[in-house]
Structures are given as structure tokens and as C-alpha cells.
Amino acid sequence: MEGRVSSEVGELSFRLLGRVSAIRDGTPVDLGPPRQRTVLAALLLRLGEPVPARHLVEAVWSSTPPGAAAQAVTVYVSTLRRTLREVRISGDADGYQLEATPEAVDLHRFRRLVVAAGQGDPESALPRLGEALALWEGDPLGGLGAAPLVARSAGALAEERLAALRHRNAMRVALHRYSEAVAELSRLVTEHPLRQDLRELLMRALHLSGRRDEALAVFEDAERVLRREGGTEPLPALRLLREEIRNGRPGKATGNAGGREVVAEGRPQPGHPVPAQLPVDTADFTGRDELIDRICHLARSGEAESQVTVVVLDGMAGVGKTALAVRLGHRLSLGYPDGQLFLDLHGFTEGTLPLDPARALDRVLRDLGVPGEEVPPTPAERATLFRTIAARRRLLVLLDNAGSEEQVTPLLPAGPGSLVLVTSRRRLPSLPGVRPFSLGVLDSTEAAMLFRRVAGPERLGTVPPEEVDELVDLCGRLPLAVRIAAARLRARPTWSPRHLARRLRDERRRLGELEEERRSVAAAFQVSYRQLRPAQRKVFRSLGLLPGPDVDVGAAAAVAGSEPWAVERSLEDLVDSHLLEQHLPDRYRFHDLIRAHAATLAEAVDDQTERRTALHRLLDYWLVTARAAVDRMDSNRTTESLAVAHPPRHVPTLTGPGEAGDWLETELANLVAAVERAAGSELAEHSWRLADVLWRFFHLRGYLDHWVATHEQALDAARRHGDRWEEATVLHNLGTAYWRLGQLPCALDHYQRALAVRRELGDRTGTARSLGNLGLVLRRLGRLPEARERHEAALALFRRLDDRPGEARALGNLSIVEELLGDLDGALARHRHALAVFRELDDRPGEARTLGNLAILLRKLGRESEAEEHDRGALTLFRQLGDRSSEAMATAHLAAGMRRDGDLAAAEREQRRALELAEKVGDPGLVHEVLLELGETLARSDPRAALAEYRKAAEVAESVGNGYQRGQALERVGDAHRAMGDAAAAAESWRQALACYQPLEVPEAASVAERLAALGGPAATSG
């Protein structure tokens, strides 16, 4: 039976054009509470389409849904599945799709009938429209309360009904059934007094039925209402009709073409076909729901009635512009009863010249009923005639694949009430009255749904969601790529999704995998590339050499070998052509697949020397600029100028530590990628040079993972090329990284190997530095006499070299060891000596670190006020320097003084501030230390709260494999348990701490063993 879903359990139909309901065998079905009915309505509105779960949440709840909203939607869907046994609701927690015949839903049956009415003559149109309008039983989406779905969709649905009513009365006028038209239009004008298109049709019907004065009265009433309600005037079309009625010539407009008068019908006459040229809608179209709603609202709004609406959908090749435009055209076609025109302008079609305006206008005029012999000869005359005809019609014009504004402008209707949809790979900002919408790729949920729909449920029925997610990510969530990949999987029964993913993971062959017989992602990109000017092509190819994710003008100019101002213009042109994205001001990046295409073009350049030189220029740019930025951040380490083969023509002006740090943060991913690219190329020297520049930044900002990764790559490259000097430098820097990570044996090993190479090379400065850092590790390991020996040797060597900064650092390190050995007065003297040297050198980072160390020592000496003064001085300097790691530690130390003074609230406040800063830095060792300080403060009043912080510290240390710090945290976990009276838990925690300490041979092991012995438990554990 038509309009029903039939099955063994009955016949089922759905109503949206009134109260939302389901009818089975003539009996209403209990659909549950309003929110559950809202979920059903949302699925029925997008019948046969996947609806993301987040859209269902947004349909049901307001802007702040409850935390369990997604779970509630899952429950609603599950209940609907049981209740509506005749239909299939597929999907999972990511999204759902209701599958039923369109005839089973009144809305979709209504739309089918209206479309059919628009494609026939007036005689056949009227009964279809009557059948369609009879389906309405009240306001759409009734019974759903204040659900956001109603606010978003009910108005648009009501507009569809109004468009069908307007169409019915236009057909009545065309068939001379004026009394029927006047009766219904009078009621509609009363209900919608601001709708001028209805008034225009009513005026025409009245006049043609001989009621001229009443027709003019409709215009006068329109003037009064519009001025009172909105402060506006009647549109030119309504004024023109009034003059035509006064002159006794309604329904026609005249224009001049080629010196002769051409009469064009203002509305299609009986028997004249209305063009309905929209291509078939894509059956598996997926996503873009919010954008479709926005554009539909724009097209149907009252504002759109006052002028032609021009919507431009621009975006990269393959992003789905045409599919979206066609879907919009079908969704909106009811509002444009005088015809829907479609033209492919071939702006970006391989092997086809763009359609020039003269030929386009010739086609349009013939489609609108102008006989071929009456089409004017010149483009200007054709455009004039088109505007004359279109001025009195409500047309939907879809101009696909536009290459420029010049192609589009002559095809824009001049009168109000028409809609033009334009698609283009370029932005078209100069079109009059344009409403631009730039399309991006699909979101993850939409892309996965599209892949599943194209591949088919039989291929992906049991495939885990994460496998589909990886596939669409490898396709860059570009609709064309997703469709091709899914179609290939569907066509190859022996392939699994994992097999396809393995093929796509190889970046060198990915584009080759994304092609089938008639479609190719690379071919689509190549058409866009060929439309570029030579200068733009050169920049595009050059950017294919980039190792990192994005680029600024300086780096782009370096790799292209051109002036920055010229390259910036090309970059902006590439953005307008959707071959680049500008995701941040003055920063540019590729879509992943376009990056692969640019890399292919770069590799295809015949001159290999040219490619190598371009990469050399880029690496030189980053090396010089990074050195300048790091020196600006860490002013005490200013070094000799770098000698490079290609000095940059332009480098950023970095006026202080803050700007320098910001530049390094922004370029971080590029700089790390540059080290990796250089290490595997003929330019390997840049890998260790750049790594050696960056370690200070990594140290200051706590980027320990990047530190290790870049230096391991640089070390391999230095060894392959036999550069012993750089091998020692990288070994030394790696030792420092592992020391920061708490991996003390590894740090000791790297420093010892660096020391051996430096002694072999006779590098006395390097030897002194490695000796000093060996002393730091030995001190942490509790081997204090050995640590003092290394620091004394480093101090003596620095003094022989007259290296004052080195001398100051050695003094500070030696004083800490002496402090630990109990010589507090000697340590204080060395600290003050070091501070004087740092101040003499204007080395503010060294001064800040020494002030902090002095504060610790002064507290041990009971000189609390001096200690606090030094802590605050250190904190001020660290903030000025942008050294966030040290700022966090200094804040924690200052808070420790507050704790000792008994101000626990202030101490906790400052320590939480330090913790927030440490977490932003991302330095796990620093986070661990601050957590221990915070725990110690909390332990004074609430051991249970302290226990929670200590456990967090243990987890942080375990996550990076730092055994020493994990032991520290577990030791304090045991202390907290003991304070809470749980001796067994305390003993177990101390055993675990001891197991961490013993392999490191640190002095803390003995202290923990003594506590265990005091409890009568074993001193060690095998775990």
C-alpha cells in the first residue's frame, strides 16, 4: 500500500507535517516521551542518511546538554528499534540512520509530489499539488515542545508548504482559474502580510479576473503594512506590476536587444515547459547538515526576497562542492517555481576550455524559451535580455565549476527573489552581493559514515570503528578520497580494511592508491595546479620540500629562493585557489593529500641540484633564525655567529625573550621535522647543528621528548659521517636530557662517552663541561666525593681557560656538593662568589639559578628573611626571562618558605599555581617535584590529601621511566600511610621505594631500609 512500510507485523507510516506520530494499521503507535519523539523526527527528516549522534543531542537539548545526553540518545534509539519493528535503525553511538521507503513519511511524499508537479504542465500539476498539500495536518513537528529541532527546522518546513501553495496558485492563474487563486491568495496574504511574492500573484489574479481596483488596493495595503511593520518599501517588481496594471498590460515585461523590442513573459505560460535541469541528487550524500540549514535559511529568509541571492561554495578539489550545491538545489527548488537552471562552466575541467559568457547566455536564453533566431548576437545584448526575462521570474541558477568572477557575473539575474548557487575552486570575492561559504573536509564522524555507506554494510558489518577512522584519516577526510577508497574496498572482496590501510600509509604511493577508472585525487589536484601562473607554480612545488606541518613567509621565501613580498603574494593566491590553508595569521599549511601532490611535483623537477639547494636554503634559514631566537631567550649564552652557505635574505625581528620564545614555540614542529629530514639527507650536518642550537630551548621549556628524539637522530647522522667533534657535543646534550628525565645511569653513560671523545680530540672546554655535568649526576646518585672531584677538576680547567661563565657554573655546582657534605660556610662563600661572577657577566639566568640555590642554603642556616628575598629575586628574573620551568620551581620553593612560616593556605595556593605552570610546560620531572612540595604542605594538616598528590607524583615518574623520582614519591606515600596509622601500607610503599633506589645506589636507599627495619619488616622486595 502506498505510503506505508509493510511487513508481517503490520503497515507503518510516519507523520511530520503536524503532530509527530507513527500509525500502524490505522492505530497510533506509542512513541514515548517528547525527547524520544524528537530523536525519531530528526532521523525521519534525514531519512536514509546517517545522522551523527552529536546532531541528535543538539536536536533534543539546548546549548548545554547534560553530561549523559549521548547515553540517553542511545537508550532512545534502542527503544525506537523495539517499538518500530518494521523499519531498520542502523548505526551505533557515533551516529544512526533510519531506513524506510520515502513514501512511508508524509514529508518525503509531499516533496516527491511537489517536484513532480513542477516538472509537468499546469493541468497535471494542480492535482499533484492538491494531494501534496492535503498531507499537512497542522504546524510541522508538533508535539515536540521547545526542542531545538523545532526551532531549527519547523520554519523551513512551513516555508516549503508556502512555496507549494504559491506554486498551486500560479498554476491556477496560468489556467485562468482566477476565483480559486484569489480566494486562497487573499487568505495567505492576510496570514503573511510581509510576503510580497504572494501579493504580486494576488494582484495579477485580481486584475486578470477584471478586478483592477482591488488589485491596486492590494499594492496600497502593501505600502502601509511594509512601512508600519518594517520601515521598508515595496520591491521594484511590485511597483512595476502596479504600473503595468494601471496601463492595462500585466504579465509582460519588455526589453531591448539588438535595436529591436523583445517581449518576454513574466511567468511561464500554459504549455511552456519550466526548466528543471538540476542533476540527480547524490544518494549517499553525507554530512554538511548545519551548513545546509544555514544556506536554506538564508535563501528562504525575508531578506532574500529583496534581491537576488548569490551563494558561492568554494573549496579544494574533491571537497564535495557540486554534490552540496545539487543537494541544496533540490532542497530549495520548491521556492523557485519558474525554473531551475544548471550550467557547468568548466573553469577547472581537464582538456576543456572554460565556457565563455556568450555561449553560456545563449544556452540559458534558449532554455528559458527564447527561440534561437531571437537570441541577440553580442554578449552584452544577451545579458540584457537574460536580466529582462529573469527580473520577473523566481529562478534557481546553479553555476558549477566557475573559474572566475567574469564567467559568473553576466549570468546573475537582476530581479529579486532568485537564487544563484556557484561552485568554484577559487574564492570569488568580487561578485556583487555574494554570500561566500568555504568548504572544509568532513569531520571524523561524517567521513566515517560516508565511507561505510559507499563501501556497503556487507563489507564493514563487523569492522571495528577505529579501523574505519584510520582509513578516513589517511584519506584526509576529503570526500572524493573517501569515496574512492571505499569504492576500491567494495570492489575487492579479498581486501580487508587493514590491508587497504597498509597501502595508504605509504605516503609515496598514497595518491596512486586513491584513483579508480574515472576518478583520481591526484588528477583533480593537477587541474588546479595547471591553472596557476608560473610564479605560483614554483612556490607550490617548493613548498613540497617542507618537512614540517606549516610555513611562514620567511621560510617559504627561503625554500623558493625569492623575495618575501613576492612569495607572500603567491601564498595568498594559493590560499584563494584552495591549494593552501591559512590556519593562523601569516601561517600556511597543506591538506595532507595536497602536500603529497606538491611533494610529487617537487621530486619531478629534473634538476636535482635545484632541489638540494632549495632544501639547503630552508635549513640555513631555520638554523640562523633558531640560533638568534635561542640566544635572545637565554642571553648569557650568546655565541659566535653561524656560518651558512645561504644566509637568509630576511629573518624575523625578535625584540625580546618573549617574542623569541613565541617564535620557537610556533616553529617547534617544523624545527623537529627539519632535524629528521636533514639527518637522512645529504645535508646531515644541519641535523646536529640544529639539534645543538635547540637543546637550550628544549631545556628552558621542558620539551624533553623532542630533546631526546632530535639528538638521537643527530647522533646517528654524526657517526655515519665520522664527525667526532659533533658526536661528542650531541652525546653531552643527550646526557643532560636523560639527567632531566631522571634516567641517571643513562645520563652518566652519555656524559662519560662524551668526556672520552673530548679528551681524545683535545677539546679542553668541552672536557670541562662534561666533567661538570658528570659531577651533577654523581651528586644525584649520592656519590658526593666523586662529584666534588669532578667539579673541582672542571673549575680548575675553566680557570686555566679563563672561561668566566664556566667558572661561575662550576663554583655553584661545587658549593651544592659542599653543602651536602656539611660545609655550609664554605658552600655559602662559593655561592656568593658565583653570584658575583654571574652579575659581572650580566648573566641573568645564572644569577637567577644562584639566587635560588642561595635561598635553600640560607634557610638551612636559619636566615629565613634573606632566603625569601633571594627566592623572590630569582622568581622575578625567571619571569622576565620566560623560563617557565624555573619559574615553576622557584614558585614552589617560595611556597615552601611560606609553609615553614606556618601559612599553609598561602603555601598551597602558590604550589598549585606552580603545578599549573609545570603542567603547561609539560616537563614530567618538574611536575613530579612540585607535586612532592604540594604533598608536603598538605601533609601538615591532611595526610589523606597529601597521599593523593604523592600517588600522582609516582604515576608521573613511572610514565617516563624515572626510577629515582618514583622512589621519592613512593617513599612519601609510605610516610603518609604511617601518619594515617596504617603501618602495613606504609611498609609496602617503602619496600617499593627501596626497589627503585637500590639499582641506582643512591643514599636514600639506606634511609628507607632503616625505616623498614624499625617496623620489623624486610628491607627489600623482589618486585
Question: Which of 936, 872, 929, 881 shows the shortest CA–CA distance to 907?
Answer: 936
pLDDT on residue 652: 86
pLDDT on residue 641: 67
pTM tops 0.75? no
Q: What is the mean pLDDT of residues 699-710?
A: 87
pLDDT on residue 764: 95
Helix axes 884-900, 904-921, angle to 10 degrees: 160
- What 8-state DSSP symbol labels residue 281? P
* Percent of the chain surpassing pLDDT 90: 39
Q: What is the mean pLDDT of residues 274-282?
A: 84
3-state secondary structure of 179: helix
Average pLDDT of every residue of the chain: 85
Long-range Cβ pairs for the range 508-516 (8 Å, 24+):
510/474, 510/593, 510/596, 511/593, 511/596, 511/597, 511/600, 513/485, 513/488, 514/475, 514/481, 514/484, 514/485, 514/593, 515/484, 516/484, 516/487, 516/488
Inform me whether the pLDDT recorded for 506 exceeds 60. yes
| d(C-alpha 763, C-alpha 755), whole Å | 9
Of the given ranges (627-641, 791-805, 985-999), which has the lowest mean pLDDT? 627-641
Beta bridge partners of 562: none
Model confidence pLDDT, tens digit, residues 67-86: 777 888 888 898 999 899 88
Inform me whether the pLDDT recorded for 603 exceeds 90. no
Model confidence pLDDT, tens digit, residues 389-448: 888 788 899 999 999 999 999 999 876 778 999 999 999 988 887 899 999 999 888 898
Q: Binning pLDDT at 50, 70 and 90, where does residue 554 land?
A: very high
Question: Which of 468, 480, 449 shows the shortest CA–CA distance to 55?
Answer: 449
C-beta of residue 875 within 8 angstroms of C-beta of residue 892:
no
Beta bridge partners of 398: 342, 421
| d(C-alpha 597, C-alpha 313), whole Å | 23
- What 8-state DSSP symbol labels residue 643? P
Model confidence pLDDT, tens digit, residues 146-168: 888 888 788 878 888 888 898 88
pLDDT on residue 304: 44
| d(C-alpha 506, C-alpha 512), whole Å | 10
* Percent of the chain surpassing pLDDT 70: 92
Q: What are phi and psi of 509, to 5 degrees?
A: -115, 5
Inform me whether the pLDDT recorded for 30 exceeds 50. yes
Q: What is the mean pLDDT of residues 682-686?
A: 92
Residue with cell 507535517: 17
pLDDT on residue 252: 39
Strand duo 587-589 + 551-552: pairing: antiparallel
- What the block records as the C-alpha cell of 67 is 553530561
3-state secondary structure of 581: strand
Distances (CA, A) of 272 to 202, 268, 362, 657: 22, 6, 18, 75
Q: Binning pLDDT at 50, 70 and 90, where does residue 795 land?
A: very high
Distances (CA, A) of 380 to 107, 250, 402: 44, 27, 19
- What the block records as the C-alpha cell of 45 is 527528516
| d(C-alpha 890, C-alpha 911), whole Å | 10
Of the given ranges (114-118, 821-825, 926-930), which has the lowest mean pLDDT? 114-118
C-beta of residue 269 within 8 angstroms of C-beta of residue 231:
no
pLDDT on residue 787: 92
pLDDT on residue 620: 95
H or E stretch covering 692: helix 685-701
Q: What are phi and psi of 92, to 5 degrees?
A: -145, -160
Inform me whether the pLDDT recorded for 457 exceeds 90. no
* Complete DSSP assignment for 90-109: EEETTEEEEE--GGGBHHHH
- Residue 139 CB-density burial (10 A; 0-12 exposed, 13-18 middle, 19+ buried): middle
Q: What is the mean pLDDT of residues 497-512?
A: 89
Instruction: Collect all residues with Cβ–Cβ distance below 8 Å to 49 and sequence separation of at least 6.
Output: 97, 285, 286
Q: Binning pLDDT at 50, 70 and 90, where does residue 262 land?
A: very low
| d(C-alpha 600, C-alpha 594), whole Å | 10
Q: What are phi and psi of 313, to 5 degrees?
A: -105, 105
3-state secondary structure of 902: coil
Q: Could you report how far apart the first and last alpha carbons of the chain are, in Å?
A: 74
- What the block records as the C-alpha cell of 668 is 617547534
Q: What are phi and psi of 584, to 5 degrees?
A: -140, 155
